[in-house]
Amino acid sequence: MTFDFPQVDLPSEIVAWTDVTEDILNLYRQSCRLKAGIFAICMEGSIKASINLIDYEIKENDLITLLPGSIIQLREKTEKVRLSFVGFSSKCTERVNLFKLFLDLFHKTTEHPVLPLNQEAAGYFKEYFAFVTRLACNEEITIAPEMTEALLNTVLAATRMVYKNYSKANRKSSRKEEICKELVQAVAQHYVTERKALFYANTLGISLQHLSTTVKQVTGKNVLDIIAYIVIMDAKAKLKSTQMTIQEIAFSLNFPTASFFGKYFKRHVGMTPVQFRES
């Protein structure tokens, strides 16, 4: 029997707040797996958190990037803390296919979900999060899905820039990180037709054992997790944002039958494609 963490989503497509204090954070002490995508910045103080089962101390001006699927648990506060955040529900992230948009930096966000920013860069995020909070909390404004997607894309663009600059400023990627980057790029290119780890080991010109060990060390996931994650994100996007039938989606992803696709989807998501589309 395998254990999984309770899954947590947001109640609306976009949720933003500039004054999340320890009193509120105390409500989230239990480990959970996020279905939403959350971007936060520490405004003041510090707090300890476990992200994907690794402990971090989050300090003032740290940027926190939590992609869907992240496991999060907040631990004891070390001093008075206040966070600002913008979150996008699974419905929104699946519609824009967030994972594909962030594909080239997937291993970086997994390895470094918490990044320190300088005062100027942190200020830009704080101002933008405050702007989004005013929109999201204004009851007289109805944020259309197109605007939510635009807001998400803006946050993604800024976060991508931070991660790329961080990588350049701090150090060159290690060979292990390069292997993971090459794997993700190869999966993005071939996942429709190739879902065996051995294919990707051969494509990268390394042994399956080397690939498996490297991916586990860098990302905490195994090769099949990476492949399945991309396949499922594509399937979710098609289920939520198109009128394609289940059979058409199955064939578009190179599954032999809708039934086979349904079993694969349920194994990884916990519900059938029809249930997911109607949820």
Q: Where are the alpha helices (DSSP H) in 103-222?
A: 106-111, 119-137, 145-170, 175-190, 197-204, 208-219
**Taking the domains of the chain in order of start, what are their residue ranges?**
7-170, 175-278
Does the domain at 7-170 match CATH 1.20.1730.10? Answer given as no
pLDDT at residue number 26: 64
Q: How does 230-266 read in b/e, with b if 16+ C-beta sit within 10 Å? A: bbbbbbbbbbbeeeeebeebbeebebeebeebbebbe
What kind of architecture, by CATH, is found in domain 175-278? Answer: Orthogonal Bundle (1.10)
Which pLDDT tens digit goes with each residue over 43-90? 998 888 878 767 788 999 999 998 887 778 777 655 688 899 999 998
pLDDT at residue number 120: 92
Which pLDDT tens digit goes with each residue over 222-232? 899 888 888 88
- Token pair recorded at residue 167: 């990588």
Mean pLDDT of 200-205: 92
The pTM assigned to this predicted structure is 0.64
pLDDT at residue number 173: 58
Provide the 10 A C-beta neighbour count for residue 66.
22
Q: Do domains 7-170 and 175-278 have the same CATH topology?
A: no
pLDDT at residue number 196: 92
Which pLDDT tens digit goes with each residue over 163-182? 877 755 555 557 887 788 78
- Among candidates 46, 54, 48, which has minimal Cα distance to 70? 54
Mean pLDDT of 107-128: 88
Which pLDDT tens digit goes with each residue over 90-100? 888 888 877 66
- At residue 3, does pLDDT exceed 60? no
Q: Average per-residue pLDDT in the chain?
A: 83
CA atoms within 13 A on the CB side of 28: 22
- Among candidates 118, 134, 54, which has minimal Cα distance to 86? 134
- Among candidates 43, 32, 27, which has minimal Cα distance to 9? 32
Q: Where are the alpha helices (DSSP H) in 19-118?
A: 22-25, 90-96, 98-101, 106-111
* Cβ contact 4:32 at 8 Å: no
Confidence of residue 27 (pLDDT cuts 50, 70, 90): low
Helix axes 258-269, 223-241, angle to 10 degrees: 110
Confidence of residue 134 (pLDDT cuts 50, 70, 90): very high
Which pLDDT tens digit goes with each residue over 222-258? 899 888 888 887 888 788 777 889 999 999 999 999 9
Q: How does 48-59 read in b/e, with b if 16+ C-beta sit within 10 Å? A: ebebbeeebebb
pLDDT at residue number 115: 92
